[in-house]
Structure 1
Amino acid sequence: MKPSPVKRCVVGTAGHVDHGKTRLVQALTGVDCDRWEEEKRRGITIDLGFASMIEDGWQIGFVDVPGHERFVRNALAGLGGIQMMALVVAADEGVMPQTMEHLAICSLLRIPAGVAVLSKTDLVPPDLLELAQMELEETLADTPFAEAPILPVSSETGAGLERLRETLVRLAGQAAPIDRHSKLPARLPIDRAFHLKGLGVLVTGTLARGTIATGDELDVLPSGARARVRSIEVHGEGRERAEAGERTSLQLSGVGLEDVARGHELTAPGVYRTTSSLLVSCRLLASAPEAIQGSCSVRLHVGAAQRVGKLRPLVPGRLEPGGEAFAEVRLEEPLVAIRGDRFVIRRPSPQTTLGGGEVLDPAWRHRRGTALATAVDALAAGTSEAAVQWAADGREAGLATSELALRLGVVRDDAASVLAGAVQEGRLLEAGPGRFVTAATVRDASCRARRLVEAHFAADRLSRGMPKAELVRRLLGAHAADLAPAYLNWAGQGAADKAVAVEGELVTLPGRAGELTEVESKLARAIVDGFEKQGLTPGPPEELCRNLGAKPQVYGGVMRYLVERG
């Protein structure tokens, strides 16, 4: 097994159909990415192709995506995991519709680096090549790739290929570092799944996070299956381990093709989960045909997955072409998503790219009015603010470290660091091991505890106190009953001006004496005298109550008072 190269980068081709993307990858790597008979017959790429090259200490992988408008959904499955865009524009045709759509998609996905390649330069004279370069410069000017180098190349003659290789290596060093992703829990969006006789189920994808080693057990989401990694290949080379940023092929056991498919994800066990409800920050492309107001049917693309659903702008309530809004997305089927995931939305019919953005909350609950505005502001602000908002959403149960880890897609230690920071800032309180609540929740619970105890005494003035178990049940319910010690401590130790006082298994009001009135004192003496006269064979309590002419409720209260105080 060969060791993994220290430096890795995955490049995705982009551009119009028949502009030479596949031929360019073949010229750079020697690999023909058109693997299907139909692709070779029609001369266009229909599905994803993969190849790689080693250059100056870098392993640069290529995801060759289809350029035809009918196969943009396939292109999106490959573009989700790349670190660099190679926009290919044929010099003899110039910028075309799919050039613009692919460029918009790469911008929405915030691919960190890019290079523009003017292909087929052997087919045009110098003056037309210059015009094509000027057009491409204008096209890139208002995009995140305005500074991307534009390189004229001929895959047929080899002109410009060496300079392109050098540029890819240079830009790979400027792309977002993958090393930090290697420390995160494993996450592999599957862009291809198939079965080979004698080998079983194989899947491929770009390892977005973490590392995967032979023998690892992984969750398959959303199917819920558990797979074991039998062997690993990275660009055709056998490995013991794959790392973030590498094009990876896994041989799996324990699953069938019915369990894995494009759009599913292989993940570290118990770290990620699926969702059907998202809060997102969404930008609508200026080229979008119309504004979005109310619910709009969309096809949402996250990683290699695509799902049909409804997008509804929330703040503001209307999303204009070229504008941005916070929106909720309700999906017909679940997918894996975490805070920070980039996404693209397309119109189901006719199929056009509308826009995209970032996932803010992968477990969104609908809100209205002030609560909506407050939640959106917090979730858009930062990770710490989002954690506080999620703790507030949990009310008395608060937010568990494990839950935060799921929403962020991080290990527990990283989630614990976020929560510890919020505690240090005074925005969260620890209610139990790994459970955090907001200060506002504590204040509210303390006030409600006092009201419940006051209501108890209003109904039974002579009671020594409200049973603690009853207060916990009514105050916290089953979902937060395990946090009762913390809440009772806060309520009784000055968190809300000492709302209640805990005395053993009873809860009372601070300083409450609970003394008998003059009438009740006389009744108490009469009850004691009555029992003393009856000796060891007292009659039924109801008989004594009638004999004394007392009201049953008052008699019962005085009786309990006497019993509780011995």
Structure 2
Amino acid sequence: MYVVATAGHVDHGKSTLVQRLTGMWPDRLAEEQRRGLTIDLGFAWTAIEGREIAFVDVPGHERFVGNMLAGVGPVPAVLFVVAATEGWMPQSEEHVAALRALGVGHTLVVISKADLADPTPALAQCREQFPGAPVVLGTDLDQVRRSLVALVDGLPAPDSDADVRLWVDRSFTVRGSGTVVTGTLAAGRISVGDELDHDGRTVSVRGLQSLGRDQPSVAAVARVAVNLRGVDRDAIRRGDTLCTPGAWLPTGEVDVALREQGKLQQRLVLHLGSAAVPVHVRPLGETGARLRLARPLPLRVGDVGLLRDPGEHRIAAGVQVLDVRPAPLRRRGEARARAAEIATGRVAPPVCERADTLRAMGFAASGDRIGDWVVAPGWWAQRRRDAVSAVERWVADHDIAAGMPEETLRRQAGLPAPQLVPPLLDGTGLTVRDGLVQRPGTDLPPRVDAAVRAVTEWLASDPFRAPEAAELAALGLGPKEIGAAVRAGRLARIADGVVLGPDVHARAAEVLAALPQPFTVAEAKRALDTTRRVAVPLLEQLDARCITRRAGDGTRRLV
């Protein structure tokens, strides 16, 4: 299917031309039929030389330009109508300005009412306004049909595998079916049973129609009516979207390049798709702007819309989205730097982002793949250098620490997620263990090493006579130093302030094996030639390691 919108000044015969081509009168509202004036969007369709063509007929009156833009926004081609009786008129000018701002380049111009006035002036005006576009007389309906076929045959092929974003242009209730919405499906495919996202809630597709016929599945480009389950008619309206879940990032702020620019004001309305959203405009140089939207929209890089001043009935600028998640502009010079970047016509994608998020933003996943993440190679290499330097500084400032906390390193290296730390350290010699980043072969600083050697010599002749707290303090071994020695495997902590050699458990088992089984604490204390301060916690550790087993009467035996 192909979808074509109409455009042109009020009463120039757009609806009549659609009716002559399709046999269907597009005006559906009673007021439209009573007044003979298109107020809202109308729809009709026909087949021409095997091509199914659906028409979105839009109003031409200046009071209903918002409705016109809702119809044209998602549509790739336009049938522009100019009456020979009046020629180029104010709404002809506004409509063509809108088409230029939206970047609609596929246009067929029809001179209507050519049997009522000399069409020559209107032909000349249209050729001036649409250089290169075909211009035909509406009195020759066969030529109009041939030109329509040529128009749709020149349209780019849609991507039926793309993520769905259906801009809603109508919402109503059908008795016995519930909520139904309509729109132009520009890309992707919708099938009965699909689950789609609407404003953060999941809705399911109960039924589908296209061109008045029930369909199990509809692929772009197409006019489609979607019967929804899970949303009331009053909760979904024109300008809303139905999207592939998780594939879009609703955004309330975007950076845009300005096209077909006129006079910018601080407060305008952004028309994109079928949406019309008030925005606050912050100019960024002469070719860009940051837009703060009154409500979030699911936008992507490359989306095209326009800014309009509804009070003055004028198009302020065409816009192309360059960034849907722009960084704050807080520091001096950041706005100027951003303006210079926008002036190039593109902005760089994030240097580190999840691949699915890049897709949702509209950026290609170019860079190095690190798990679910995509990183810029130069940025990643700099982060690795920064990480090594950060660990070196940490070790210098915390010489007895077991390692730098992984979260501290993540923050200092500027990584957005903890899972990026281990791959960042690949090839650096640094490792992550128990949440700590460590250097290989990390040893004790000289002052602690000397103290531990003194304790080791102390224990050589009396392996179970632990130094007293005062003796450890005299050697400069406080809790942190002892902790470092234990982590390095140079000492074993038996209790707070009680340390022995690293092989104490095996040596104790050898001594206790010579005792009659079972044995008491007193017997173990005598055999080990130590104090109760050492014997009791040492036996408890032997129990915990299943070297000994304690009986209900307090005696123990070797396992």
TM-score band by shorter chain is 0.7 to 0.9
Query: Is 1:187 matched up with 2:180?
Result: no
Q: Which residue of 1 aligns with 2:471?
A: 544
CA contact (8 A) 2:192 2:216 kept: yes
Q: Which residue of 2 aligns with 1:495?
A: none
Of 229, 232, 257, 2:205 maps to 229
Q: Which residue of 2 aligns with 1:30?
A: 23
Of 472, 478, 488, 2:425 maps to 488
CA deviation after TM superposition for structure 1 residue 16, in Å: 0.9
Instruction: Tell me, in whole angstroms, the C-alpha distance in 2 between the residues paired with 1:204 and 1:136.
Output: 32
Deviations 1:422-451 (A, max 9, x none): 3xxxxx33322x212223333333333233
Q: Which residue of 1 aligns with 2:188?
A: 210
Amino acid aligned to 1:88: V
Instruction: Tell me, in whole angstroms, the C-alpha distance in 1 between the residues paired with 2:242 and 2:10.
Output: 31
533 and 297 in structure 1: CA distance in 2 versus 1, 3 angstrom threshold: same
Q: Which residue of 2 aligns with 1:77?
A: 70
CA deviation after TM superposition for structure 1 residue 10, in Å: 1.3
CA deviation after TM superposition for structure 1 residue 560, in Å: 4.0
Q: Which residue of 2 aligns with 1:44?
A: 37
Please tell me the root mean square deviation across aligned C-alpha atoms, in Å: 3.1
Unpaired runs of at least 5, structure 2: 491-559
254 and 512 in structure 1: CA distance in 2 versus 1, 3 angstrom threshold: closer
Q: Which residue of 1 aligns with 2:266?
A: 296
Deviations 1:329-385 (A, max 9, x none): 111111121122111111142342211121122222234667667767778879xx8
Amino acid aligned to 2:163: P
391 and 348 in structure 1: CA distance in 2 versus 1, 3 angstrom threshold: same
CA contact (8 A) 1:531 1:538 kept: yes
Q: Which residue of 1 aligns with 2:357?
A: 403
- What TM-score, normalized to structure 1? 0.78
Instruction: Tell me, in whole angstroms, the C-alpha distance in 2 between the residues paired with 1:332 and 1:484.
Output: 38
Q: Which residue of 1 aligns with 2:431?
A: 502
Once structures 1 and 2 are overlaid, which stretch shifts more, 463-472 or 203-212?
463-472
457 and 231 in structure 1: CA distance in 2 versus 1, 3 angstrom threshold: closer
524 and 37 in structure 1: CA distance in 2 versus 1, 3 angstrom threshold: closer
* SS of corresponding position for 1:359: strand
Instruction: Tell me, in whole angstroms, the C-alpha distance in 1 between the residues paired with 2:275 and 2:451.
Output: 77
CA deviation after TM superposition for structure 1 residue 24, in Å: 1.2
Q: Which residue of 2 aligns with 1:135?
A: 125
80 and 522 in structure 1: CA distance in 2 versus 1, 3 angstrom threshold: closer
Matches within 5 A, 1:396-545: 398-408=352-362, 418-419=364-365, 422=366, 428-432=367-371, 434-461=372-399, 463=400, 466-467=403-404, 469=406, 472=409, 474-475=411-412, 479-492=416-429, 501-502=430-431, 507-508=437-438, 516=446, 526-528=454-456, 536-538=464-466, 540-541=468-469, 543-544=470-471
* SS of corresponding position for 2:417: helix
559 and 353 in structure 1: CA distance in 2 versus 1, 3 angstrom threshold: closer
Q: Which residue of 2 aligns with 1:174?
A: 154
Instruction: Tell me, in whole angstroms, the C-alpha distance in 1 between the residues paired with 2:342 and 2:374.
Output: 17
* SS of corresponding position for 1:12: strand
CA contact (8 A) 2:444 2:485 kept: no
Instruction: Tell me, in whole angstroms, the C-alpha distance in 1 between the residues paired with 2:432 and 2:123.
Output: 83
Amino acid aligned to 2:374: F
16 and 470 in structure 1: CA distance in 2 versus 1, 3 angstrom threshold: closer
CA contact (8 A) 1:112 1:176 kept: no
Identity across the alignment (%) = 33
Instruction: Tell me, in whole angstroms, the C-alpha distance in 2 between the residues paired with 1:91 and 1:33.
Output: 22
The structure whose residues are more often helix, as a share, is 1
Instruction: Tell me, in whole angstroms, the C-alpha distance in 2 between the residues paired with 1:399 and 1:348.
Output: 38
Q: Which residue of 2 aligns with 1:274?
A: 250
Query: Is 1:326 matched up with 2:253?
Result: no
Query: Is 1:9 matched up with 2:5?
Result: no
Query: How many residues align structurally?
Result: 488
CA deviation after TM superposition for structure 1 residue 471, in Å: 5.3
CA contact (8 A) 2:70 2:273 kept: yes
Q: Which residue of 1 aligns with 2:318?
A: 356
Instruction: Tell me, in whole angstroms, the C-alpha distance in 2 between the residues paired with 1:313 and 1:335.
Output: 20
Q: Which has the larger radius of gyration?
A: 2
Query: Is 1:341 matched up with 2:303?
Result: yes
Q: Which residue of 1 aligns with 2:520?
A: none
- What TM-score, normalized to structure 2? 0.79
Unpaired runs of at least 5, structure 1: 1-7, 154-158, 320-324, 393-397, 409-414, 423-427, 493-500
Instruction: Tell me, in whole angstroms, the C-alpha distance in 1 between the residues paired with 2:405 and 2:131.
Output: 66
Of 232, 249, 258, 2:234 maps to 258
Instruction: Tell me, in whole angstroms, the C-alpha distance in 2 between the residues paired with 1:163 and 1:489.
Output: 68
CA deviation after TM superposition for structure 1 residue 247, in Å: 1.2
- Larger RCO: Structure 1 or Structure 2 (Cα < 8 Å, ≥ 6 residues apart)? 1
Q: Which residue of 2 aligns with 1:306?
A: 276
Deviations 1:64-110 (A, max 9, x none): 10111111110111001222211111111111111011111112222
CA contact (8 A) 1:200 1:251 kept: yes
Amino acid aligned to 2:123: Q
Amino acid aligned to 1:204: T
Q: Which residue of 2 aligns with 1:411?
A: none
Amino acid aligned to 1:516: P
Q: Which residue of 2 aligns with 1:283?
A: 259
CA contact (8 A) 2:84 2:111 kept: yes
Instruction: Tell me, in whole angstroms, the C-alpha distance in 1 between the residues paired with 2:437 and 2:230.
Output: 55
Instruction: Tell me, in whole angstroms, the C-alpha distance in 2 between the residues paired with 1:115 and 1:187.
Output: 27
Once structures 1 and 2 are overlaid, which stretch shifts more, 470-479 or 56-65?
470-479
CA contact (8 A) 1:213 1:240 kept: yes
* SS of corresponding position for 2:233: coil
CA deviation after TM superposition for structure 1 residue 239, in Å: 2.2
Amino acid aligned to 2:267: S
Instruction: Tell me, in whole angstroms, the C-alpha distance in 2 between the residues paired with 1:380 and 1:404.
Output: 22
66 and 486 in structure 1: CA distance in 2 versus 1, 3 angstrom threshold: same
Q: Which residue of 2 aligns with 1:498?
A: none
Amino acid aligned to 1:31: M
Q: Which residue of 2 aligns with 1:147?
A: 132
Instruction: Tell me, in whole angstroms, the C-alpha distance in 2 between the residues paired with 1:164 and 1:475.
Output: 66
CA contact (8 A) 2:443 2:488 kept: no
CA contact (8 A) 1:431 1:487 kept: no
CA deviation after TM superposition for structure 1 residue 536, in Å: 3.9
